[in-house]
């Protein structure tokens, strides 16, 4: 492969961290260094000779640093092909070739996260840096480019022996550079789209990529793009799989909707909750959640909104489960839980902050707002003569959260802050209700005095009729059917309470 010896390098970085390892490798091969402003001062402080870019351009940094490198004397040395016609032009205008470009862009995304000051945000839109990266990447056959601090050490090792880089290595660096500028531009466009409410096209990019063991099935490849550490920190266990991540996302979003006024616990399987409960201790919450469906809990995803103490850890330790998520773990609990080395233990840091969600289909992408609506007492309309009791209302709101996070069509049955049975993913609401009743009775629950939540309206009165026969006394649903009056009339005739939310929670 065609290698080039790096004889000159232009270094312009916002964050100076990690430079010594790269500078040491460049100095070993007597590479001429060019730099600007703060980067040049840092290189000099570290004891290396460096030439100011101003000596090439004949112009100082102007406009508060907005223009430093944007000049033919800089870009000519980067973009010139190493062939006679181009080299003659460089000689004519006394422009030196630049073999390596090192750029760390202004921290635009970090600035957006830490301030709402538009002027400060705009000043962190890098112009020259992006141009340098694109120019060097375009001319990868003759120039190498470093676009991330993460590459310093690996490139230094490649340069260590002979001070040269192969064509394949330069092409790989170019790909990374173009990916970096794509992500950077996408973040800037996203900011302005958010500010103006106007969206031009679809773009979502991440510079963080984690290769997974496989996709949904072993014959499918899979990868995760994003920073998992923003949401969860892995404490122990095997590498997370595609299916683990899908289930963890469902678990975290479910728990985010449940208030933290008391310990809550959920057990999920294939993104659906098979057990959810709230109790005075996390141990009791776990036991109540497990009772909801101890069969489906095998191999499931467990999540708590409260620290896992030793009592809770001892209660769940003998159950085979894939993942346990909690905001914290007592030291003795963690010691016990990590004895099973493959068990994934995650510290929950924060719920995902994304406001939109998307999926690919039909060769394209569909995008929607995240369903962030949580039904509250203030949004309920009592549709029947009898209003729910305080306990029924509390259970109805809890049931609504459970139904929101189950696959449609769905019904959730709740009593005393415990999921007794659920039916989900059914083609009819009647089938979902029947499934929920069968599951509840299979695990020994008496449904007398329980409540029912539906993710969408009842097209007929058949669901409330079946619910009444099973002992259910109160219902929460969006309403909106042209036959709502039929369901309401049946409830009135049988002393059932019904409240309407006005909000549908389909989940597909």
CA dist 497 and 379 (Å) reads 16
270 is catalytic: yes
Strand partners, 224: 210
Neighbours of 451 (CB within 10 A): 30
CA dist 457 and 477 (Å) reads 6
Choosing from 138, 287, 340, 373, the catalytic residue is: 138
CA dist 13 and 35 (Å) reads 9
**Closest residue by Cα to residue 404 from 472, 473, 501, 304:** 501
Radius of gyration over alpha carbons of the chain, in Å?
30
**Closest residue by Cα to residue 224 from 352, 348, 328:** 352
138 is catalytic: yes
Q: How many Cα atoms sit within 13 Å of 426 on the Cβ side?
A: 20
Tokens of 387: 């209003």
Contacts of 150 by beta carbon, 8 Å cutoff, 6+ apart: none
- Using DSSP, state whether 27 is helix, strand or coil: helix
Q: Is the peptide bond before 409 cis (omega within 30 degrees of 0)?
A: yes
**Is 152 exposed, middle or buried, given 0-12, 13-18 or 19+ CB atoms closer than 10 A?**
buried
Choosing from 16, 71, 270, 373, the catalytic residue is: 270
Contacts of 141 by beta carbon, 8 Å cutoff, 6+ apart: 2, 81, 167, 170
Q: Report CA 146 to chain centroid distance, whole Å.
A: 27
Neighbours of 337 (CB within 10 A): 23
Residue linked to tokens 């058949």? 462
Query: Which stretch of DSSP H or E encloses residue 236?
Result: strand 232-236
**Is 205 exposed, middle or buried, given 0-12, 13-18 or 19+ CB atoms closer than 10 A?**
middle
CA dist 50 and 36 (Å) reads 9
Strand partners, 361: 364
Contacts of 15 by beta carbon, 8 Å cutoff, 6+ apart: 104, 107, 149
Q: Euclidean distance between the first and final Cα of the chain, in Å?
A: 51
Q: Report CA 204 to chain centroid distance, whole Å.
A: 12
φ, ψ dihedrals at 409, nearest 5°: -70, 145
DSSP secondary structure, 24-76, as one string: HHHHHTT-EEEE-HHHHHHHHHTT---EETHHHHS---BTTTTBSS-SHHHHH
Q: Among all residues, which ones are annotated catalytic?
A: 138, 270
């Amino acid at each position: 492969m065609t290698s080039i010896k790096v004889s000159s390098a232009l270094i312009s970085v916002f964050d100076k961290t990690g430079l010594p390892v790269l500078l040491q490798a460049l100095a070993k091969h007597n590479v001429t260094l060019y730099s600007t402003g703060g980067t040049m001062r840092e290189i000099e402080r570290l004891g290396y000779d460096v030439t100011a870019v101003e000596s090439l351009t004949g112009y100082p940094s102007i406009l508060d640093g907005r223009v430093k490198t944007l000049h033919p004397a800089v870009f000519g040395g980067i973009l010139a092909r190493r062939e006679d016609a181009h080299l003659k032009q460089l000689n004519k205008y006394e422009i030196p070739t630049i073999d390596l470009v090192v750029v760390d862009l202004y921290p635009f995304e970090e600035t957006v996260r830490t301030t709402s000051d538009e002027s400060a945000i705009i000043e962190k839109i890098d112009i020259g840096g992006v141009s340098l990266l694109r120019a060097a990447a375009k001319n990868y056959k003759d120039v190498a480019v470093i676009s991330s601090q993460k590459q310093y050490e690996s490139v230094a090792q490649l340069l260590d022996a002979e001070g040269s880089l192969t064509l394949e290595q330069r092409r790989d660096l170019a790909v990374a550079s173009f990916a970096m500028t794509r992500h950077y531009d996408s973040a800037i466009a996203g900011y302005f789209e958010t500010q103006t409410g106007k969206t031009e096209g679809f773009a979502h990019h991440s510079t963080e990529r984690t290769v997974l063991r496989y996709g949904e099935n072993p014959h499918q490849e899979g990868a995760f793009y994003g920073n998992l550490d923003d949401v969860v920190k892995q404490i122990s266990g095997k590498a997370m799989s595609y299916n683990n991540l899908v289930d963890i996302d469902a678990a975290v979003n479910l728990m985010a909707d449940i208030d933290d006024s008391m310990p809550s616990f959920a057990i999920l399987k294939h993104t659906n909750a098979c057990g959810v409960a709230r109790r005075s201790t996390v141990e009791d919450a776990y036991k109540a959640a497990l009772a909801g469906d101890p069969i489906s809990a095998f191999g499931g995803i467990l999540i708590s909104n409260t620290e896992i103490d030793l009592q809770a850890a001892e209660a769940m330790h003998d159950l085979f489960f894939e993942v346990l998520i909690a905001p914290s773990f007592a030291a003795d609990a963690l010691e016990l839980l990590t004895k099973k080395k493959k068990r994934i233990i995650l510290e929950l840091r924060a719920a995902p902050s994304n406001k939109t969600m998307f999926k690919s289909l039909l060769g394209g992408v569909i995008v929607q707002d995240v369903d962030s609506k949580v039904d509250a007492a203030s949004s309920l309309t009592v549709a029947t003569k009898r209003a729910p009791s305080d306990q029924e209302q509390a259970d109805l709101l809890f049931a609504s959260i459970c139904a929101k996070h189950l696959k449609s069509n769905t019904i959730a049955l709740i009593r005393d802050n415990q999921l007794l049975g659920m039916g989900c993913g059914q083609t009819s609401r009647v089938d979902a209700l029947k499934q929920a009743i069968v599951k509840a009775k299979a695990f020994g629950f008496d449904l007398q005095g329980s409540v029912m939540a539906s993710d969408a309206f009842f097209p007929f009165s058949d669901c409330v009729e079946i619910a009444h026969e099973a002992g259910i006394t109160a219902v929460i649903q969006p309403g909106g059917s042209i036959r709502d009056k039929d369901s309401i009339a049946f409830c009135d005739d049988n002393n059932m309470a019904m409240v309407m939310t006005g909000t549908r929670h389909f989940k597909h």
